[in-house]
Chain A
């Protein structure tokens, strides 16, 4: 049974990444974003490492909300569709649970793939411009400790520079972003299944994430509740390493994402047990 799930996951993932048009659109979008970000970070006139640059891109709330979320949704948008060879796969999975688990795993693998692709593109685009040293530049540490706006502009925090090395910050950022994208992917998968329409799922998730960004930016919730904003938990600089009350710890974010994934997974399974695995039927032809 486990082999069936793994094999079905692999086939789903292959089908996902084989869509050359989508992969090209994602790569092109990312390259444009990276080149634009190089121009922006160079304006600071400081000695940045490639790790700084990765953090600068991965932890920008606008990038995460509008570009990463959109591109990732584009990658997995038709995962739950019964297009292509899906019907043949479903029957071979043996049960709805096996099929559903394979799709959840595929979303997870796709999130990891997406993040690694983004980081790879940042590295090959920025390697000639930035150093590879795994330590924070003294000027950055100095400015960070005195200028809050500098931290906001660079997507770092004073505490982060003390707590983590640049490489460790990159790895943790990738981890947070992966968990965030898994949540986004599951939401999209479930809404698509309910609506039987990819556009509805895509737009619904975009609206949820956009509202999350507005609440985060405008600080529309009390300090203790703002910890529960999706986007806030995806950004490394929004975490405390000194137990500052209104900021999340990494453990909190990990548990937060884990809880949402578990809840969504159960909602999804309860749903897929009860719905028709068919979005081709046109009711009008039976009227």
Chain B
């Protein structure tokens, strides 16, 4: 069963083609990597899958439902796209608590567990504005996984992480993959792609091609 099925997806803004007839199918439990260059259209592709950006043409189905037509946003999906943003005055835990309260489907223990899984201290009262780039990235990943999504969309998941951080996140993603989570990730880091992905695509100037 295809978790994501993208058919002839195009996106044009002010005459600039950002996505050009993209076709992509991702099966349940797969981890798909996209090798990207700057300005390749990767963020636009991810935003389209998440429902933030409306396609100019083509369709995106997630869990069998067409995004923007059947549903506004895909269900059971966690994501980080570009730099994860948080309320700078609040601690990491409080930021996740605020987000978790919107759907109200997980307990505080689950938030604590998610923070621990990315190597952050749930008891840390430090406000997010004092976090390093790597800590914000870890918090972003904790945010993405805390509600046990079946689909993870990760844009540069190891961006800003130190060596230990990369190891922790790789190990976490392998665990999620083993549990059946479908993962779509883009990265500049060849290690992310080599270590984690079943299939690799290359994206450039709005086109996507299978590499291996």
Q: Which residues of B are found within 8 Å of A276, using beta-carbon distances?
A: 47, 52-54
Q: Which of A7, A85, A91, A280 contacts B86 (CB 8 A)?
A: A85
Q: Which residues of A are found within 8 Å of B143, using beta-carbon distances?
A: 88
Q: Verify A91–B16 contact, CB threshold 8 A.
A: no
Q: Verify A94–B16 contact, CB threshold 8 A.
A: no
Q: Verify A92–B41 contact, CB threshold 8 A.
A: no
Q: Which residues of A are found within 8 Å of B82, using beta-carbon distances?
A: 280
Task: Give A277 to B44 CA distance when docked, in angstroms.
Answer: 11
Contact with B along A234-276 (1 / 0, CB 8 A): 0000000000000000000000000000000000000000111
Q: Which residues of A contact B (CB under 8 A)?
A: 3-4, 7-8, 10-11, 14-15, 18, 20, 82-97, 274-278, 280-281, 283, 285-287
Closest beta carbon of chain A to B60's beta carbon, Å: 14
Task: Give A51 to B26 CA distance when docked, in angstroms.
Answer: 66
B residues contacting the other copy or chain, number (CB 8 A): 41
Q: Which residues of A are found within 8 Å of B101, using beta-carbon distances?
A: 7, 10-11
Q: Which residues of B are found within 8 Å of A283, using beta-carbon distances?
A: 13-14, 16
Task: Give A281 to B71 CA distance when docked, in angstroms.
Answer: 23
Q: Verify A90–B52 contact, CB threshold 8 A.
A: yes
Q: Which residues of B are found within 8 Å of A4, using beta-carbon distances?
A: 102-104
Indicate the member of B16, B38, B52, B84 with the most A CB atoms within 10 Å: B52
B181 contacts the other chain (CB 8 A) = no
B63 contacts the other chain (CB 8 A) = no
Q: Verify B43–A286 contact, CB threshold 8 A.
A: no
Q: Which residues of B are found within 8 Å of A90, using beta-carbon distances?
A: 52, 73
Q: Verify B52–A93 contact, CB threshold 8 A.
A: no
Task: Give A277 to B50 CA distance when docked, in angstroms.
Answer: 10
